[in-house]
Amino acid sequence: KNMACIFDLDGVLVDTAVYHYKAWKQLANSLGFDFTHAQNEQLKGVNRMCSLDMILKWGNLDKSESEREELASLKNSWYVAMISKMTIAEVLPGSLKLLQDLKEQGVKTALGSASKNSALILERTGLVDFFDAIVDGNAVTSSKPDPEVFVKGAELLKVANKDCVVFEDAIAGVQAAIAAGMKIIGVGETGNLPGAQLVIKDLSAITIEEILSLYN
């Protein structure tokens, strides 16, 4: 079957969500406020500038365009310092095995990430060679929940949208995959990701057979 698997990066393949959280929290604190864990959930999958805008709103702060650019690049410098030290140990359970199995069985794969730092993360963790196509924050103009990132992946793989399965940990990402007309396997806590066909704890909890059975 001409189908494909499209993987989100942060929170699905690698454990970088914790670094985003630390860096955004440090930025908010430096501006004199804080935000909750529940608020942080809303930032997942959302691109850098949109995340900053949400955070500034929570802190009731109004900033000019140039101040916003500065704050975003400050957060990014802290984040990049953290991910520069990442190792293969931060690849989430089951990710490597599933990517290996998919490659062995000739199932096409794409990365569908909002991050502009995906190249560094894939290089640090040794995952880059498992993807037939890479679509990240540098390749799109609209952020999840817009479907652009996944639609571009399907186009590059030459697979119909309806024959793509998206693996996502974020609400915004699940919404993007729904808008693209794709199937969704949620990664994380059940109940957190309405709209997913299936929610698993991590990628060790799924096999290729189970992925293919979504089509029956």
Residues that bind ligand G16 (CB under 6 A): 8-11, 20, 43-48, 51, 76, 113-117, 137, 170, 173
- Sheet strands (E) in 34-182: 108-112, 133-135, 164-168
- Told to check if 10 binds Mg ion by CB under 5 A, we report yes
CA distance 205 to 38: 25
In the bound state with ligand G16, the residue whose beta carbon lies nearer, of 155 and 213, is 155
- Told to check if 8 binds Mg ion by CB under 5 A, we report yes
In the bound state with ligand G16, the residue whose beta carbon lies nearer, of 4 and 17, is 17
Query: Is 10 marked active-site?
Result: yes
Count of positions on this chain that bind Mg ion (CB under 5 A): 6
Q: Of 8, 15, 136, 169, which is the active-site residue? A: 8
- Told to check if 15 binds Mg ion by CB under 5 A, we report no
CB of 114 to Mg ion, least distance (A): 7
Q: What is the DSSP string of 119-188?
A: HHHHHHHT-GGG-SEEE-TTT-SS-TTSTHHHHHHHHHHT--GGGEEEEE-SHHHHHHHHHTT-EEEEES
- Told to check if 148 binds Mg ion by CB under 5 A, we report no
Phi, psi of 106, rounded to the nearest 5 degrees = 70, 25
CA distance 106 to 156: 16
Residues within the interface to Mg ion (CB under 5 A)? 8, 10-11, 45, 169-170
Catalytic residues: 8, 10
